[in-house]
Amino acid sequence: MSVLASHHVVNGLMDRLVDPKSTLFQALAVVIVGTALGFLFDWANVWPTAWVVPIKVWISDLFRWLDKEATLGLFTVKQFTRTISWALKQPLLWTEYLLWKGAKPHQLLPIIWIAIATIAGIIAYNLRGPRIAMLVVAGIIGIVLVDSLPIIFGSIAKALRVQPLMAPEAITGISQLPADLLKATMSARKVRYVPWMTIVLGFGILGHWVGGWRLALTVVLCMGYLAVTGLWRESMKTFSLVVVAVPFSALMGLWLGVWVTRSKRAAKIITPIFDLMQATPHLAYLVPVVVMFGAGQVPALIATVIFAMPPMARCTILAIQTVPSDITESGRMSGCTPRQLLWKVQLPASQRTLLLGLNQVIMQTLAMVVICSLVGAQGLGHKLLFSLQQLKLGFATMQGAAIVLMAIVLDRITQAYANRASDYSHLEAKTFAQKHAHALIFFGMMAVTILASFYIRDVSMLSKKNLLVDSRDALELDKVIKTYTFAMIDFVRPIRDFITVHMLIPMRDFYHAIPWTVTVGVLAVLSYRMGGWTLTALTSGLMVFVILLVGNWQFAITTFYFVSTALVICVLIGVPLGVWAARSDRVAKIVMSGCDILQTFPSFIYLLPAIMLFRVGELAIITAIVPYATVPAIRYTYLGLKRIPAVTVEAAVANGCTPLQKLWKVELPVAVPEIMLGVNQTIMMGLAMTAITALIGGQDLGQEIYRALPTSDAGRGVMAGLGIATLGIIFDRLIGAWADQRKKELGVD
Amino acid sequence: MADDVQISCRNMWKVFGADPKGFMSKHGGAPAPEAFVSEGYIGAVQDVSFDVHAGEILIIMGLSGSGKSTVIRCITRLNDPTTGSIMFEGSDLLAANDQEMIEIRRHKMGMVFQNFGLLPHRDVLSNVAFPLEVQGMDLATRHARAQEMVDLVGLGGRESYFPRELSGGQQQRVGIARSLAVEPDVWFLDEPFSALDPLIRAEMQDEFIRLQQMLKKTIVFITHDFEEATKLADRIGIMKDGRMVQLTTPEEMVLHPADDYVAEFARNAPRDRIVSVGAVMEKLNGKSRSTANAIDAKAKIGEVAEQVLTASKPVPVVDGDGKLAGQLSRERITKALFGSEDL
């Protein structure tokens, strides 16, 4: 039977080999011709350096010109970028003062406060009506007042102090109080950021409001960690960037998304830009920003805002398009103007999708803010980068954990809020205090902790001696990790070296040995098969013009080698896990929550275990990519299997399939298009991660970006970034076209 | 008759495709069915003309894909027709600009949707008050008005509930209340009861009749349920493949269907409740007889069936003035009840 089957397969192969219309025949022809050309001419093997078109130089010149000479009519580009920097710096300064620098509120012009209150009030009015708008404005006034408490107390104290002469002896004890108050307030005015206790408890109350006690406890523990390990100030530096970037990204994304749904022309222009942006790795955003804006917090903010905006725009488009037509039509029939329709019908009706978009924005923002440490952004990422570069693994672990915990807090709270906010149900009549219990407790807590912070320094910021975990513990941890990794390295090194020398390097060399003509040719044949001439022109055109002509071929092949190797491992791990999860709900629960957690981690974090295990080198790079990129392979396999109609599976069982036959002959073939979409995601994430692994070596496109950063070499960085995006887009289009074709054949959608 | 026409559609076409207007003008305004297929266009509404009279219930029915929902969306201009004209209360509706259209919808049109179209983030009262809110009515006035509507549809006490907390029937009551809140001249109902269970549907139909007896609106009602149509309609229009096949009273439709398609619909109609005595009686042509125990010509045959069937002789029929109009025999009423062709 099996002999017959293999005979059949061989026959089929032979048939296809000699059929000029088969993919196999055409691909083989391309390989033979390409290799032959490679033997004959050197240029067909490796693109000659002399033929490289100096696009990188042109781009660098363009940026230099933009920076130095270009004008936009009345003002120069330089002035324009400076203005943007200045405008972004204002809210950042304010959050920084509030969260960790400390300052007097009157340093901010009253006009800024009025502007903030007005804008927030208008937004709240549009979204939630007049009552909530009043609450928001009152809240902001409250913040200003609380912020001014020391001055108020100070004045009262001063006023009282004039009086003691008139006071009888009996109350001199009391008259001491104003003096204390004055002293405390005067000293408190020097450092007046929001105390850590206020923020931690505030998060706890927020957590309880949106998700109950469990979430509250999780949040308090996670945020508490930041305080008791002495990482509070760094955390708040990171957090203040997030706090400023998120509203910008979210509002711009919302606006762009709305625009796309309203105007076909906008959709035509913006959608491909978003596709390109999505395929471009984090790191690539940094180069042009550094060239135009320099290094530091503000450029980090700009890169972050640009990077984190597309998911919000996508979610907005999705949200508006998925509002049931009955609801939109009922809004129009109620006599809504287009603006009323948007603000009162479409956006609120799709609130959940929008809030999940916000969640994505926040997570992307945090990931990007951490990576921005490469361009000198302060905060946890900066510390982590420093520790990694020094191989201070104990510190790195503590700082990495801080980033992860912050990510978990932000993720869980926004997700819980998205679910809570769209879970509409009526209230039984309640008193004002019951309705606003959380707000009241919050304001009470705030008043108490802030007042307490005037007297007890540790409420504001834990002093070194009161930390639960301090740098000595980190050193201890460092030693422990080093001991273990040193102990392990004896085992690990031979394995690492074996895999590297006997598996990875030969593979890399093989990839590099393939003439570019063969690679481009095979790509063209595949593209033509999947999507005709348009796709062929797109993929091979991109490959030639963005990578080959530019002189990035070798780097791109190395990137491809990292990603493809990681991909094989991801699929080998991810697909079986997905299948297993689809078999058992208990397993599914564990695996899926594991995926959730892995997805929450900012990408930078994945370097940590790789470095601990393998230090630097190719195996370390692949080890960093795999856990990050496996998640979609698992998820899509699981979903693909779960979405198979029950009837199909039942029919297979009724036809007498064994469980294994059922899987191989029915379920997997039907689920393959879905699984391939997961593979697609895996490739995208792998590409994004290879860029970040530039920190631990590799001669790939990511490394090119990384090297372009300190020298502000715009052309080099931009073209390397576009190269990675190109690889991503090629994979995406090929797999997308294939999956569409297959889905059509299977009649599933 | 002409002055009580509230809406008048003439030669209305709605074509979907790449360039519907160009396609229409290329084919001289009336493309043949083959042209649609060969050029990849869909003619959702094809050359439809009809009038809606003030105070009547006009029901447009047809199977899914027959274009009935598109017709109602053309009249409300949720979808603009490709060609044709629509007069609304004597003025050209298609000439109205966006702002005028918004004003017309705010004051003259109300619509109920198959899947209710309620705003999930607003409670019952606020959903009903929504059309008033977008007009800019102040909170107190609109809530008072919405409260009246909520009470009218029997949802008093549930004002603070959200749509997802209500049953389907209750949700559609909210939809009805909302569509009536602005006191529209014309009330559009797009398969309002199709998403409901049969029992609830019957209850809502009765509720609808009760409301209409009170409000006497001009109504355009879409359904795919012939029984529902005959129960509620003054006139029924049947649509097939985008065309209006027949538009007449339920009785005419049952007794004289325009073609086999209509006849197929009419076959299972409850004739006892649709056909009146006058339509099936035997004319006496001047002969006279006693009017003792006479039945009314306007009565439905189901109401008099027992009397006619148990009588030994044909029963006399009188018109509204009590004058003798004809007689109805056992044979005739049996034929009428069980749908014999030759009446």
Q: Do B178 and A334 touch (CB under 8 A)?
A: yes
Chain B interface, mutation test: which of A325, A328, A332, A334, most B Cβ atoms within 10 Å? A334
Burial of B206 (0-12, 13-18, 19+ CB in 10 A): exposed
- What pLDDT does residue A182 have? 56
Q: Do B113 and A332 touch (CB under 8 A)?
A: no
Q: Structurally, what CATH architecture does the domain formed by B2-108+184-269 represent?
A: 3-Layer(aba) Sandwich (3.40)
Nearest-CA distance from B109 to chain A in Å? 7
Contacts 24+ apart (CB under 8 A), B291-297: B291/B316, B291/B318, B291/B322, B291/B324, B292/B316, B294/B318, B294/B324, B295/B328, B296/B320, B297/B325, B297/B326
Least confident interval from A52-61, A539-548, A623-632, B170-179: A52-61
- What pLDDT does residue A340 have? 92
Beta bridge partners of B61: B223, B238
Chain B, residues 225-244, CB within 8 A of chain A, namely none
Q: Which residues contact A244 (CB under 8 A, 6 or more apart)?
A: A88, A91, A92, A95, A301
Q: Is the pLDDT of residue A591 over 80?
A: yes
Nearest CA in chain A to B181: A334
Q: Is the pLDDT of residue A188 over 60?
A: no
Reduced to 3 states (helix: H, G, I; strand: E, B; else coil), residue A422 is coil
- Tell me the pLDDT tens digit for each residue of A63-93: 888 888 777 777 888 888 888 888 888 788 8
Q: Is the pLDDT of residue B339 over 80?
A: no
Q: Do A426 and B161 touch (CB under 8 A)?
A: yes
Nearest CA in chain B to A326: B117
> Which H or E run includes B35?
helix B33-39
Chain A interface, mutation test: which of B77, B100, B121, most A Cβ atoms within 10 Å? B121
- What pLDDT does residue A152 have? 64
Nearest-CA distance from B226 to chain A in Å? 23
Q: What is the mean pLDDT of residues B180-197?
A: 90
Res. A187 pLDDT band, cuts 50 70 90: low
- Tell me the pLDDT tens digit for each residue of A314-364: 999 999 999 999 999 999 999 999 999 999 999 999 988 899 899 999 999
Residue among A407, A390, A452 at smallest CA distance from A235: A407
Nearest-by-Cβ selection for A329 from B78, B135, B162: B78
Res. B2 pLDDT band, cuts 50 70 90: very low
Q: What is the mean pLDDT of residues A373-380?
A: 88
- What pLDDT does residue A172 have? 47
Of residues A530 and B131, more confidence is placed in: B131
Chain B interface, mutation test: which of A329, A330, A428, most B Cβ atoms within 10 Å? A330
Strand duo B315-318 + B324-328: pairing:
antiparallel
Nearest-by-Cβ selection for A426 from B76, B120, B162: B162
B182 neighbourhood in chain A, CB within 8 Å: 335
A349 reaches B (C-beta below 8 A): yes
Nearest-by-Cβ selection for B116 from A326, A334, A424: A326
What is the DSSP code (8-state) at residue A194? P
Q: Check: CB of residue B243 under 8 Å from CB of residue B48.
A: yes
- What pLDDT does residue A237 have? 93
By residue count, chain A amounts to 749
Q: Do A332 and B105 touch (CB under 8 A)?
A: yes
Q: Check: CB of residue A402 under 8 Å from CB of residue A336.
A: no
Q: Is the pLDDT of residue A576 over 90?
A: yes
B133 neighbourhood in chain A, CB within 8 Å: 344
Least confident interval from A457-466, A523-532, A696-705: A457-466
The count of CB pairs under 8 A between chains A and B is 86
- What pLDDT does residue B102 have? 93
- What pLDDT does residue A491 have? 79
Q: Do B160 and A427 touch (CB under 8 A)?
A: yes
For B253, other C-beta atoms within 10 Å of its C-beta total 26
Res. A224 pLDDT band, cuts 50 70 90: very high
What percent of chain B shows pLDDT beyond 70?
97
Nearest-CA distance from B107 to chain A in Å? 8
Q: What is the mean pLDDT of residues A593-618?
A: 85
Q: What is the mean pLDDT of residues B32-52?
A: 89
A348 neighbourhood in chain B, CB within 8 Å: 119, 121-122
Give the tokens for residue B165. Answer: 């907390």
Q: Which residues contact A609 (CB under 8 A, 6 or more apart)?
A: A623, A624, A627
Q: Do B119 and A331 touch (CB under 8 A)?
A: yes
B108 reaches A (C-beta below 8 A): no
Residue among A270, A614, A223 at smallest CA distance from A412: A223
Res. A430 pLDDT band, cuts 50 70 90: confident
Reduced to 3 states (helix: H, G, I; strand: E, B; else coil), residue B235 is strand
Nearest-CA distance from A264 to chain B in Å? 14
- For chain B, what are the domain ranges? 2-108+184-269, 272-338
- Tell me the pLDDT tens digit for each residue of A384-412: 988 888 888 888 888 999 999 999 999 99
A331 reaches B (C-beta below 8 A): yes
Q: What is the mean pLDDT of residues B150-176?
A: 91
Q: How far apart are CA B332 and CA B329, in angstroms?
A: 5
Q: How far apart are CA A79 and CA A296, in angstroms?
A: 18
Strand duo B235-240 + B315-318: pairing:
unpaired
Nearest-by-Cβ selection for A344 from B107, B134, B160: B134
Nearest-by-Cβ selection for A326 from B117, B123, B134: B117
- What pLDDT does residue B127 have? 94
Q: Do A333 and B105 touch (CB under 8 A)?
A: yes
> Which H or E run includes A438?
helix A437-455
Q: Which domains does chain A have, with CATH numbers?
A: 17-46+514-549 (no CATH), 470-513 (no CATH), 553-749 (1.10.3720.10)
- Tell me the pLDDT tens digit for each residue of A509-537: 998 888 888 888 889 988 988 888 888 99
Q: How far apart are CA A412 and CA B306, in angstroms?
A: 72
A330 neighbourhood in chain B, CB within 8 Å: 111, 113, 117-119, 175, 178
Chain B, residues 19-48, CB within 8 A of chain A, namely none
Q: Is the pLDDT of residue A481 over 80?
A: yes
In degrees, to the nearest 5, what angle opens at C-alpha B213 toward C-alphas B210 and B216?
Answer: 130
Beta bridge partners of A202: none
The DSSP result for B209-227, as a single string, is HHHHHHH--EEEEEES-HH
Residue among B195, B33, B53 at smallest CA distance from B112: B195
User: Residue B333, Cα to own-chain centre: how many angstroms?
Assistant: 28
Res. B267 pLDDT band, cuts 50 70 90: confident
Q: How far apart are CA A402 and CA A387, in angstroms?
A: 14
Q: Structurally, what CATH architecture does the domain formed by B272-338 represent?
A: Roll (3.10)
Least confident interval from A582-591, B69-78, B272-281: B272-281
Q: Is the dihedral of CA A360, A366, A369, A371 positive or negative?
A: negative
Place of tokens 């004319």: B283
